[in-house]
């Protein structure tokens, strides 16, 4: 059972895109969709987010479908989540919890698992504020870990704080190792390129096609979370290192951005960002705006970039490039799946790699962006 919520100012197309993306997120987390409902509100209800009528409508659909989970495409407060679960009698997940669940399932590397655990604990800590009733009971006495009269909520908050501190220390160590590797690449004067883009835009497929690697790629949201780097041949005597990064999404939880700072820093420190866009989706402009927002948040807004419009085989368009007024290749149209247009992208990267630092700095000028 899914519920996509949109403000009244959004049109039918925006609501449809939201429902479709929520469905994909739910399927990526392993849920099967039993029903969908779109609710439009100018402002959320403080207690339930939804109105009483919509809550009753959801309850009826739950009874008829036998579903055990309700997923909402919004960020709920702890009180709203608790009240909805009481009213509906089933588990309620908001957008943040759903994305965190997907990340927890997909993390493979040690660093990825630590990052996801940190993000989930940071999210859980907000759920302890005015949350569930068992957290209000006091504990105390001889033989208990809590001090005399210490509430369960205080004990839980302290335990979470201690674990968060441990995770941050471990991630700082891994970040130091990553910085050492990055400095080694700089000493070899390698041109560093990072693939960025909306989730499921085809970054991993493009990465494999360019580097002849076998990194995991699938037609699902957040198929891979771990950053992978490989050498890339673009021209003789031009050393290039290509990195595949985690995909972005609209309203990416801040806890994840904070936890993945070290990984996302790979993009902020790159010489060039290749922004991969799914050319076949109607909402590609909105997806590009969402990616730009995350890049600004991680300090990568000023990094030169080249836009790649992927999946041209689905829009019946041929491979090609678009150039700025100064002749620089700004965007490439290609298909990572078929390989059509890959050489055009190699040429675009080679062009950037062979430019002088002064030329690269001018890439931010409107005429040469």
Residue 232 has pLDDT above 90, yes or no: yes
Q: Is the pLDDT of residue 364 over 90?
A: no
Residue 350 has pLDDT above 90, yes or no: yes
Indicate whether 12 pLDDT > 50. no
User: Higher-confidence residue: 68 or 335?
Assistant: 335
Q: pLDDT tens digits, residue range 174-220?
A: 777 777 766 665 556 789 999 999 988 999 999 999 998 876 666 66
Write out the two tokens for 351: 């062009």
Q: Hey, how many other C-beta atoms are within 10 angstroms of the C-beta on 250?
A: 19
162 and 43 in one domain? no
Task: Specify the 3-state DSSP secondary structure of 49.
Answer: strand
Query: Which residue from 214, 203, 231 is spatially nearest to 353, judged by alpha carbons?
Result: 231
Q: Please indicate, yes or no, if residue 173 is contained in any of the structural domains.
A: no
Q: Are residues 85 and 110 in the same domain?
A: no
Statement to judge: residues 298 and 323 lie in one domain: yes
Comparing 91 with 123, the larger pLDDT belongs to 91
User: What order do you get walking across the sheet with 36-40 strand by strand?
Assistant: 36-40, 2-6, 69-72, 91-93
Q: Total structural domains in the chain?
A: 3
260 in any annotated domain: yes
pLDDT digits (tens, 9 = 90+) for 243-276: 988 888 887 777 777 767 666 777 888 999 999 9
Q: Please check the confidence at residue 342 and state whether its pLDDT lies above 50.
A: yes
What's the pLDDT score for residue 264?
Answer: 76
Is residue 53 located within the same domain as residue 85?
yes
Domain co-membership, 271 together with 131: no
**Considering the domain boundaries, does residue 184 fall inside one?**
no
Q: Which of 265, 238, 141, 241 is nearest to 185 (CA)?
A: 241
Give the pLDDT of residue 180.
74
**Would you state the pLDDT for residue 159?**
80
Residue 134 reports pLDDT greater than 70:
no
Question: Is residue 172, in this structure, part of any structural domain at all?
Answer: no
Structural domain contains residue 88? yes
CA–CA gap between residue 288 and residue 297 (Å, rounded): 14
What percentage of the chain exceeds 90 in pLDDT?
33
Which CATH number characterizes residue 47's domain?
3.40.50.11060
Residue 9's pLDDT band (cuts 50, 70, 90) = very low
Whole-number mean pLDDT of the chain?
80
Tokens of 74: 């919004």
Q: Report the pLDDT averaged over residues 31-47.
A: 86
DSSP assignment string, 187-238: HTTPEEEEEEEBTTSSHHHHHHHHHT------SSTT---S-EEEEEESSTT-
User: Looking at the structure, do residues 16 and 155 belong to the same domain, yes or no?
Assistant: no
Domain span at 162: 106-166
| pTM as predicted | 0.75
Same domain, 19 and 89: yes
Asked whether residue 80 falls in the same domain as residue 124, the answer is no
Higher pLDDT, 357 or 163: 163
158/197 Cα distance (integer angstroms)? 37
User: Average of pLDDT values for 323-332?
Assistant: 92
Confidence of residue 144 (pLDDT cuts 50, 70, 90): very low
Say if residue 145's pLDDT is above 60.
Answer: no
Q: Among 64-73, 134-143, 154-163, name the one with the lowest average pLDDT.
A: 134-143
Q: What is the dihedral of CA 52, 54, 60, 62, to 10 degrees?
A: -110
pLDDT at 2: 56
User: Is there a single domain that holds both residue 364 and residue 217?
Assistant: yes
In a domain, 174, yes or no: no
Q: Tell me the mean pLDDT in the region 324-343.
A: 94
**Average pLDDT of 352-366?**
60
């Amino acid at each position: 059972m899914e519920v996509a919520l949109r403000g009244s100012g959004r049109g039918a197309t925006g609501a449809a895109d939201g429902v479709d993306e929520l469905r994909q997120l739910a399927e990526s987390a392993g849920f099967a969709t039993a029903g969908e409902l779109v609710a439009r509100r100018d402002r959320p209800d403080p207690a339930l987010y939804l109105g009483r009528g919509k809550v009753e409508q959801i309850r009826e659909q739950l009874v008829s479908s036998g579903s055990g989970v309700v997923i909402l495409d919004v960020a709920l407060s702890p009180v709203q989540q608790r009240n909805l679960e009481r009213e509906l009698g089933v588990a309620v997940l908001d957008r943040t919890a759903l994305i965190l669940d997907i990340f927890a399932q997909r993390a493979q590397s040690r660093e990825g698992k630590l990052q996801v655990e940190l993000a989930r604990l940071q999210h859980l800590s907000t759920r302890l504020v005015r949350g569930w009733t068992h957290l209000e009971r006091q504990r105390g006495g001889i033989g208990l870990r809590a001090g005399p009269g210490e509430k369960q909520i205080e004990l839980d908050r302290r335990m979470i704080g201690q674990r968060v501190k441990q995770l941050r220390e471990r991630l700082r160590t891994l970040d130091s190792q990553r910085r050492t590797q990055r400095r080694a690449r700089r000493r070899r004067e390698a041109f560093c390129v990072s693939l960025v883009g909306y989730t499921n835009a085809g970054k991993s497929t493009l990465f494999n096609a360019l580097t002849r690697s076998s990194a995991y790629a699938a037609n699902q949201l957040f198929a891979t979370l771990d950053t992978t780097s490989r050498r890339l041949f673009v021209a003789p005597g031009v050393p290039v290192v290509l990195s595949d990064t985690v995909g972005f999404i609209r309203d990416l939880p801040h806890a994840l951005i904070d936890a993945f700072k070290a990984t996302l820093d790979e993009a902020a420190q790159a010489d060039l960002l290749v922004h991969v866009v799914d050319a076949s989706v109607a909402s590609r402009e909105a997806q590009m705006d969402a990616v730009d927002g995350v890049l600004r948040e991680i300090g990568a807004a000023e990094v030169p970039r080249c836009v790649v419009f992927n999946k041209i085989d689905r829009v019946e368009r041929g491979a090609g490039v678009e150039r700025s007024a100064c002749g620089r290749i700004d965007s490439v149209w290609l298909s990572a799946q078929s390989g059509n247009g890959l050489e055009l992208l190699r040429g675009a990267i080679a062009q950037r790699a062979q430019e002088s630092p002064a030329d690269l700095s001018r890439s931010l000028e409107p005429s040469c962006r």
